[in-house]
Structure 1
Amino acid sequence: MRFIIDGDGSPVKEKVIQLAAEFHLSVIIVTSIAHYTMKEYPSFVSFVYVEKGADRADYEIVKLAQPTDWVITQDYGLASLLLPKGVRVFHHSGKEYLPETIDGLLMQRFEHAQLRKQHRRVKGPNPFTQQDRQLFLSLLREELTKSIR
């Protein structure tokens, strides 16, 4: 089991790394070369860099992910590609994407895109706070604990 993070703009990378250390798991962060970092990370964290471009990181994640992996992403489309592979997929809110709810999320995304095309305002998410990060950490820790038992 390992974590794979959709790294472009993920607000919970550090929390996932914290959990991975606690549970002795590895982390792969897939991100655009535009987000290259020289920051030092623990040895159990690796990076896969992809060229700039729409969905490049997503395609790499789909290619890398195995049924035992847990992926962290806010991308509903990516989640919909991973679920049939048996991968567990989590939003940075801590909620798990499920086969029975993914179609509704994709429909909502489509409807919002249609409204934006009509120049109608669609409310975006609230800013991500430290409290949100702590909630994510708590929810994911709970899921890990259940899964390892």
Structure 2
Amino acid sequence: MQILVDADACPVKDIIVRTAKKYKVPVTMIIDTSHELSDGYSTVITVDKARDSVDIKLINLLKREDIVVTQDYGVAAMGLGKGARVLNQNGLIYTDDNIDRLLFERHLGQKVRRAGGRTRPIKKRTGENDEVFEKALVSLLERQKLEGGPG
């Protein structure tokens, strides 16, 4: 098991590394060439800046027992399809029960924006978001441990 991170705009990289060290779980951060990253713990994979190159690399590396951190619903859906556990930077754990609704809401938002409309602004990140994320990540790691996975 490892934690794979869609790391380009991920605000919780430090929390991921700190938690992964505690559970002795490897972390792979995937970024494109417009970013630099070195935390002394993670394996960092840099891909070209082509559209979706980070997403494609992450999905190609993904194994069933892995945990994925992404805010991209498409990546989340593919991760779930491969049997991984997936969460976003705010601690939302993606499941088969919520991913279809999330993808549909994304689709509706895209239609509104293409037609010149506006959607709700993104809320500013808070310390509470970090706490919820950390609790969700620990929960997934503990669940994996209980189910006999590494870590």
TM-score bracket, shorter-length normalisation: over 0.9
What whole-Å deviation, never above 9, does each CA across 1:83-110 have from its counterpart, x for those lacking one? 1110111111111111222111111001
What whole-Å deviation, never above 9, does each CA across 1:42-93 have from its counterpart, x for those lacking one? 2xx1101010021100000010000010000000011111111101111111
What whole-Å deviation, never above 9, does each CA across 1:92-141 have from its counterpart, x for those lacking one? 11111112221111110010001011111101321112221122112221
- Do the aligned partners of residues 40 and 70 (structure 1) sit closer, same or farther apart at CA in structure 2, a change above 3 Å counting? closer
The residue aligned with 2:36 is 36
Structure 1 CA distance for aligned equivalents of residues 49 and 43 of structure 2: 19
The residue aligned with 1:127 is 124
Retained in 1: the 8 A contact 2:109–2:119?
yes
SS in 1 for 2:123: coil
- 4+ long deviations beyond 6 Å: none
Tell me the CA shift for residue 40 of structure 1.
Answer: 4.3
SS in 2 for 1:4: strand
**TM-score normalised over the length of structure 2:** 0.91
**TM-score normalised over the length of structure 1:** 0.92
Which of residues 50, 55, 59 is equivalent to 2:52? 55
Q: Unaligned regions of 5+ residues in structure 1, if any?
A: none
Tell me the CA shift for residue 146 of structure 1.
Answer: 2.9
Tell me the CA shift for residue 30 of structure 1.
Answer: 0.4
Retained in 1: the 8 A contact 2:70–2:76?
yes
Structure 1 CA distance for aligned equivalents of residues 19 and 110 of structure 2: 34
Q: Percent identity?
A: 27
Structure 2 CA distance for aligned equivalents of residues 71 and 7 of structure 1: 10
SS in 2 for 1:100: coil
- What number of residue pairs does the alignment pair up? 146
RMSD: 1.2
Matched, 1:81 2:81: no
